[in-house]
Chain A
Amino acid sequence: MTKRRLESTSTVAAVPLALTSAGIALSGAMLLGQFTSWPVFLLFATLCYRFLGYRFHLPAPSQWVKIALLCAGVVAVEVSNGTFAGVQPGLEILFVLVSLKLLETHRARDFQVLTILGYFLALCDLLFYQDLSHGLCIGFMVCLETAALVRFHQDEGIGNAIRTSFWIAMQAVPMIVLLYVFVPRLSTGIRLQFGPSAQANIGPPDRMDPGSIAALASQHGSAFWAAFPDGNIPAELDLYWRGLVLWRCDGLTWVRGGNLTPERRGAIFDGELIHQTIILQPHMGSCLYALDRPSSAVPGAIYEAGDSLHSQRPVSLPTLYEVYSQLRDRERSIPSDQLRMALQKPGRISPEVQALVQGWRQDGADDARVVRSAVGFFRGGKFTYSLTPGTYSEEGLDEFLFKRRIGFCEHYAAAFATLMRVAGIPSRVVLGFHGGDFTGVYINVRQSDAHAWCEVWLKNKGWLRIDPTSAIAPERITSGLESFLEKHGASADGGRPVSPAATEWRRFADGTRLMWDQLTYQWDLRVLNYDEGRQRGLISSIGLAAWRPDQFGLALILAGAVFVGGAMLWLAHVRRGSLDPAGRLYSRLCALLAARGVARHPWEGPIAFSQRAAEALPNCAEQIIAAGYTYALCRYGREGAHVKKLANWVRLVRKAR
């Protein structure tokens, strides 16, 4: 028995199959980091076999091989996960199935199923990635699948297929927009959650070790965007974005601390309310950032001690929230457990540190004086600000304060707060961001804007923000990290003089990045965060607030019908437009007569037809014969002069009944 070859078994041409497979391979590649990678490689392997099969005439795998592969795949999923339940094993099995489907895509129906699986894989990618770049990638995949379908059904070469799919996509746009904007969004109450996402930004963690913020600060991506709907934008120096508050101190390392009594919300702040709309990128932590210090309640958020806002579940999707902040503190009392925690000293304090702090306390200086002395110590102490300060040992505090004196903002904040505690002044460290690029509409705060600072409690003044970094490297605070690094030659190119071309390039890259950021902002605002509430807002803003969901449903179905029907009419008209005027008139005449029961046979000429029709319809026999003769004259004689007559006769036929 000869084996059946792949290319003879399959009626699916290589080109559409290649397009679909490209889409599927792309979706597999995107999911590579999300689960054990062997199912994706199985997919790639079957793809290779399929296409090498076309080239080298490989046999089509038999039913038994496929069944064996399926069993092996299912067993492998069970072994690697220990279970079939859950998203990950489900995805793995899906990939095994898609791989096998690729091997046996021989008929039109298989191809159709494969493409639908391709759409489904696009959805699987969206479970994990929602940002703009992945969104574009997934959009491209959907285009590939659609073009593959068109190519499969058109048989006219890839160029034509792309053109046709492009037109179909363009025609679909109005309907897509309508559906997207108006199909009622439901809050189902189900929450689908997926494991830690590889692309999630790593916001400040729950603890601060030397070097942990520096690692963050070297990233370029956006952390969040903040827009100010009231147009009330604070000065750049005040752009401290509060995140996590750390209470427990161990030298240079600070930890979040236990459950403390939160502050009494309400009348503890002064000054204008600053309204912010923030779109937070997923960081898998719970922190919700806001301008220092947030004073209003965010629905669903928790206030922790130290005025830090937290969401109830990890931020795994871009999240939009509204928050009000006030810049000045009016707090005068502190809960006793907070006070206790804020005075907790590190386990071991070296005599040098003790001596340093003792020096500030001389002459019975009060807390405010001590704080000033400490700031002075950092300002005049030949400290260096660097993104790459090297690593500090366990006894890092002494090494940092007295020997190397080089550090990043977290070193300064941690050291300062620790010194305050040694001096008996309540202190805490705040992790967050500082600054951001103002783009005209919103402030883009990047990962590289991550910052840490210190707060001390002074009687009758409340918690006071002290940013020791500003004492060492004031430009870092006024101009942001990136330009600071640029000026101080610490950027990636190692401080060599910058050529004009490089500056030009830099400007271009910055412009592109800004544009991309703005696109991402729009994507997050208008696509990812277009939820029930925003939909209601938009609908009431165009005056349809009174409509019920069922009315919207009805209107959408109606719109769909009009859309499809209109396109049909248009297509029919366009096709008719391809005839010349006389042909058009004659086809109208034929349609008229067909409606009265006399249809033209395909082989009938105009004269024979008009005679037959005239016999059948004596009422308008004369007009019909005249019309038939005139058309014959138009067609076979000299045309121009007769078209008007023909039009006239056709009109008369229509009127005569």
Chain B
Amino acid sequence: MTQPGTRLRLQGNGWGLLAVMAAMWYVGAGQSNGAAYLLCFTVAGVALASIPHTWANLRGAQLHLGAVEPVFAGQDLTMRFSIEARPRGRHSSVSLAIPGAAYVQRLGIIDSEAPRGVEASLPAPVRGRFEGVRAGLQSGFPLGFFQARRMFELRQPYYVYPAPSGALPLPIASDPREGADFGIRAEGDDFAGVREWRAGESMRHVDWKAAARGHPLQVKQWDGAGSDVVCLAWERLPSLAREERLSQLAAWVLMAEQSGAAYSLQLPEAQIAPSRGENHMHQCLRALASLQPSPNGVPSRFRKPRFRFNTAAPND
């Protein structure tokens, strides 16, 4: 994260004030009205005196971004920001702004004793891997004619998966041992016993009944006929456009996961070995999201999405 400075700018209504000051000056000159001059310069002096306050009010405020859950394109991203005040400081009338998404949320007072968290819900129209968000804190305190702004480039990689769509049926599963051997035993339909649950694993296959009887958390394991693997390959969809292919692949990943079959993913830039389970599904979807948009044939908005400061990066 880079340390931003506090920038000041004249607000739209500041121009309105300038116009009114011009009118005051005009009356002062036209009517030889010293009082109108005085009014004009009083307003000008007060507006000038408010500038340092505007600047000092926001000085030292910090903005952080927590982990961002992945979503499918078209859904809303939830970004959890936390705003930290300057040590022993107090910032009035702070707003959170994400210029790219035309998002402004008024937060009010930020106090060093009570840091604030904000959940921003932002539309994610474009799939991809994003490096972070450019967001800012702004405040018009005390008079609103000038605005202080601190922009932060918040580095927090997150993924927007391709929206699952496409009507093609899931490819038929085949035994990988007949073809290429991946050397990995996939899970099947037959119950093969339990093993201990490991932290980070999905709760879906936890043997809750056993847990209710007082056993430690255990995961059911399956085995058997399901040594067949669904091979989801980029090459199988030559008739579709690039982004449509990705959508179809995403839909297949979900369908395969749903069916309980093991599946593998083969992309031009990445190969993912057959497996199943939630982690595997996310790995596949991340791979789909990270696929380089082709340099030509993809609308420019894919390359420069509106509110991210970094566009989709190659898979790492």
Contact = CB atoms under 8 A, between A and B. Distances in A.
Interface stretch (B28-36, B164-172, B254-262, B280-288): B28-36
B314 interface: no
Contacts of B139: 153
A563 B88 contact: no
A123 B37 contact: no
Interface residues of B, number: 56
B52 A179 contact: no
B303 interface: no
Interface in A184-203: 185-188, 190-193
Interface in A274-326: 317
B48 A175 contact: yes
Interface stretch (B140-148, B175-183, B193-201, B209-217): B140-148
A130 B30 contact: no
Contacts of A150: 142-143
A113 interface: yes
Nearest to A191: B30
A116 B86 contact: no
Contacts of A126: 27, 33, 35-36, 39
Contacts of A578: 88
Contacts of A112: 11, 13, 16, 144-145
A154 B92 contact: yes
Given A168-B49, A563-B49, A575-B86, 18 more contacts: A116-B17, A116-B20, A119-B17, A126-B27, A142-B43, A146-B143, A153-B143, A154-B141, A155-B108, A164-B53, A168-B50, A180-B37, A190-B29, A191-B31, A528-B34, A560-B48, A564-B51, A571-B59
Given A176-B41, A527-B35, A155 B92 contact: yes
Interface in B1-46: 3, 11-13, 16-17, 20, 23-24, 27, 29-39, 41-46
Contacts of B17: 116, 119
B29 A185 contact: yes
A186 B50 CA distance: 28
B45 A127 contact: no
Contacts of A122: 39
Contacts of B20: 116, 119-120, 123
Q: Which of A122, A173, A191, A192 is packed against the most chain B CB atoms within 10 Å?
A: A192
B64 interface: yes
A135 B37 CA distance: 12
Contacts of A185: 29, 37
B93 interface: yes
Contacts of A616: none
B48 A155 contact: no
B27 A123 contact: yes
Given A113-B16, A127-B27, A188-B29, A154 B93 contact: yes
26 contacts: A109-B12, A112-B145, A116-B13, A119-B43, A123-B24, A123-B36, A130-B34, A135-B38, A149-B143, A153-B139, A153-B144, A154-B92, A155-B109, A168-B46, A171-B49, A172-B48, A179-B41, A183-B41, A186-B29, A187-B32, A190-B29, A192-B30, A563-B48, A572-B59, A575-B56, A594-B3
- A-B pairs with lowest CB-CB distance, top 5: A567-B52, A176-B45, A172-B49, A172-B45, A571-B56
Interface in A375-431: none
A32 interface: no
B93 to A, nearest CB: 4
Nearest to B28: A185
B29 to A, nearest CB: 4
Nearest to B52: A567
Q: Which of B49, B62, B145 is packed against the most chain A CB atoms within 10 Å?
A: B49
Q: Which of B34, B43, B51, B108 is packed against the most chain A CB atoms within 10 Å?
A: B34
The A interface, classified by DSSP as helix, strand, loop or mixed, is helix
A630 to B, nearest CB: 20
Q: Which of A109, A138, A168 is packed against the most chain B CB atoms within 10 Å?
A: A168
Given A168-B50, A188-B29, A175 B45 contact: yes
B89 interface: yes
B13 A109 contact: yes
Contacts of B36: 123, 126-127
Contacts of B23: 120, 123
A550 interface: no
Contacts of A130: 33-35
Contacts of B268: none
Interface string A625-650: 00000000000000000000000000
A509 interface: no
Interface of A: 11, 108-109, 112-113, 116, 119-120, 122-123, 126-127, 130, 135, 138-139, 142, 146, 149-150, 152-156, 164-165, 168-169, 171-173, 175-176, 179-180, 183, 185-188, 190-193, 317, 527-531, 560, 563-564, 567-568, 570-572, 575, 578-579, 583, 594, 599, 602
Contact of A173 (B45, B52, B142): B45
A98 B283 CA distance: 60
B187 interface: no
B46 A190 contact: no
A599 B29 contact: no
B45 A179 contact: yes
B177 to A, nearest CB: 50
B228 interface: no
A272 B11 CA distance: 62
B130 interface: no
Nearest to B64: A602
Nearest to B13: A112
Contacts of B16: 112-113, 116
Nearest to B32: A531
Interface string B83-123: 01011110011000000000000101100000000000000
A169 B29 contact: no
A382 to B, nearest CB: 52
Given A119-B43, A149-B143, A563-B48, A528 B30 contact: no
Nearest to A176: B45
Contact of B42 (A154, A176, A531): A176
A562 to B, nearest CB: 11
Interface in B42-74: 42-46, 48-53, 55-56, 59-60, 62, 64
A186 B13 CA distance: 27
A153 B92 contact: yes
B29 A156 contact: no
Contacts of B51: 564, 567-568
Contacts of A146: 46, 143
A108 B29 contact: no
A109 B145 CA distance: 10
